[in-house]
């Protein structure tokens, strides 16, 4: 019986082998060539994510590969097609079963690594900034954690939407990466974020991936009528929002979770991911990948996220052999 390897749930990063599954109705069997790690994967394996699947499960929210088999009722794809999948789980394996409705065809010029690195981070930034916050050309966008997996995409998307982008990150190396992605102004994490931002005229839209004291400083430097997006809490602390200050400055705090939106409105997810694949093929966006690691080093990849030493995306490469 043919078998494939998966990463067991848990920080020990164990590898186990199991039989290759057979796709049922509406499912594809994907030979996985690349899986992008997300901070949500780390939270899931630690049992701290708001949408952790029931045990047991295989982590890995987004991946890319070749369709090795599929259910008889699927007409949109063929065996051998290259696709990316935002499956919510199952990407940290050599093979995985996914709902075919979650798959997006990859353009010939786009690599598996690039496709896997693009769905969640770019999808989050595009929908959050364009649809939710309605960022306008000429407005000032603050991106915190701007060299991280989602932050860096917000810098790129913000520039594409015509905003003046202020990037906040810790250290000259991370700031240089944000600048290369299009940031107009840079603020080091050691600086007084509130004062620096006020000196630049304040922020119209805040895209915060850090939380804690960073959120508080950004909140206080948001212009009247501004919109704030609490995207993540990489700093560890979930901030409390003073409602009285929302009233005084007519501020809007917008909750946004890509996975939840895609479940509620699958069509908007498909449209967004198709758009992103087109942008990748045209060279309008370019994912920054700081690490590429084999499946057996998943624990190391998660540690890079936990320690906030990765910039952009970390890609795990199962390097699956083709089915016989």
- DSSP assignment of 129-171 equals IIIIS---TT-EEEEESTTSTTHHHHHHHHHHTTPEEEEEESS
Tokens 């409105």 — which residue? 265
Examine the domain organization and report whether 156 and 29 are in the same domain.
no
End-to-end CA distance of the chain: 11
Residue 83 has pLDDT above 90, yes or no: yes
Pairwise CA distance, residues 151 & 154, whole Å: 5
Dihedral, CA atoms, 166, 172, 178, 183, nearest 10 degrees? 40
Per residue in 280-322, pLDDT (tens digit) is 999 999 999 999 999 989 999 999 988 888 888 999 999 754 4
pLDDT at 203: 98
Q: Is the pLDDT of residue 11 over 50?
A: no
Q: Taking 80 as the threshold, does the pLDDT of residue 3 lie above it? A: no
Mean pLDDT of the chain, nearest integer: 91
- Asked if residue 13 is part of any domain, the answer here is yes
CATH code of the domain in which 31 resides: 3.90.180.10
* Mean pLDDT value of segment 105-113: 97
- Assess if residue 275 is contained within a domain: no
134 and 255 belong to one structural domain: yes
* pLDDT bracket for residue 14 (50, 70, 90): confident
Cα separation, 114 vs 153, in Å, equals 13
CA distances to 59, 204, 207, 240 from 244, rounded to whole Å, are 40, 19, 21, 12
Based on the fold, state whether residues 308 and 223 are members of the same structural domain: no
Q: Are residues 147 and 252 in the same domain?
A: yes
Question: Does residue 164 contact residue 141 with C-beta atoms inside 8 Å?
Answer: yes
Comparing 194-208, 230-244, 264-278, which segment has the lowest mean pLDDT?
A: 230-244
Domain annotation covers residue 311: yes
Looking at residue 7, its pLDDT comes to 74
The share of the chain scoring above pLDDT 70, in percent, equals 96
Mean pLDDT along residues 258-277: 90
Domain that holds residue 25: 3-117+287-317
pLDDT for the residue 321: 47
The sign of the CA dihedral 51, 63, 293, 23 is positive
Spatial contact of 247 and 273, defined as CB atoms under 8 Å apart: no
Q: Are residues 240 and 111 in the same domain?
A: no
Handedness of CA 92, 93, 97, 101 (dihedral sign): positive
Taking 50 as the threshold, does the pLDDT of residue 1 lie above it? no
For residues 4 and 31, which has the higher predicted lDDT (pLDDT)?
31
pLDDT at 125 over 90: yes
Report if residue 39 sits inside a domain. Answer: yes
Q: Report the pLDDT value the prediction gives residue 324, as an integer from 0 to 100.
A: 41
8 A C-beta contact, residue 226 and residue 245: no
The pLDDT tens digits of the residues spanning 52-66 come to 778 788 899 999 999
Residues 95 and 181 in one domain: no
Tell how strand 313-317 and strand 27-37 pair up: antiparallel
Within this chain, do residues 207 and 224 fall inside the same structural domain, yes or no? Answer: yes
User: Is the domain of 238 the same as that of 297?
Assistant: no
């Amino acid at each position: 019986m043919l078998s494939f390897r998966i990463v067991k749930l848990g920080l020990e990063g164990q590898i186990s082998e199991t039989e290759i599954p057979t796709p049922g109705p509406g499912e594809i069997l994907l030979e996985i060539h690349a899986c992008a790690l997300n901070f949500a994967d780390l939270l899931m394996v630690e049992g701290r994510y708001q949408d952790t699947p029931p045990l047991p499960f295989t982590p890995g929210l987004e991946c890319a590969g070749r369709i090795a088999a599929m259910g008889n009722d699927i007409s949109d794809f063929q065996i051998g097609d290259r696709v990316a999948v935002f499956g919510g789980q199952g990407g940290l394996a050599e093979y995985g079963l996914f709902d075919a409705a979650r798959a997006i065809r990859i353009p010939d010029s786009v690599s598996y690594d690039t496709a896997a690195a693009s769905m969640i981070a770019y999808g989050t930034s595009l929908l959050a900034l364009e649809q939710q916050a309605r960022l306008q050309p000429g407005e000032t966008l603050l991106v915190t954690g701007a060299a991280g997996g989602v932050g860096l995409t917000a810098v790129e998307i913000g520039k594409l939407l015509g905003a003046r982008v202020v990037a906040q990150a810790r250290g000259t190396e991370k700031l240089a990466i944000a600048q290369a992605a299009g940031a107009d102004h840079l603020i080091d994490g050691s600086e007084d974020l509130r004062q620096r931002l006020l000196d630049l005229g304040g922020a119209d839209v805040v895209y915060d991936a850090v939380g804690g004291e960073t959120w508080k400083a950004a909140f206080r430097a948001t212009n009247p009528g501004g919109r704030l997006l609490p995207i993540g809490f990489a700093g560890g602390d979930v901030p409390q929002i003073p409602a009285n200050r929302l009233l005084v400055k007519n501020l809007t705090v917008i909750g946004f979770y890509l996975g939840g939106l895609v479940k509620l409105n699958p069509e908007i997810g498909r449209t967004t991911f198709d758009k992103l694949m087109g942008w990748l093929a045209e060279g309008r966006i370019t994912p920054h990948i700081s690490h590429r690691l084999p499946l057996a080093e998943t624990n190391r990849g998660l540690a890079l996220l936990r320690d906030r030493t990765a910039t952009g995306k970390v890609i795990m490469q199962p390097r699956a052999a083709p089915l016989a």
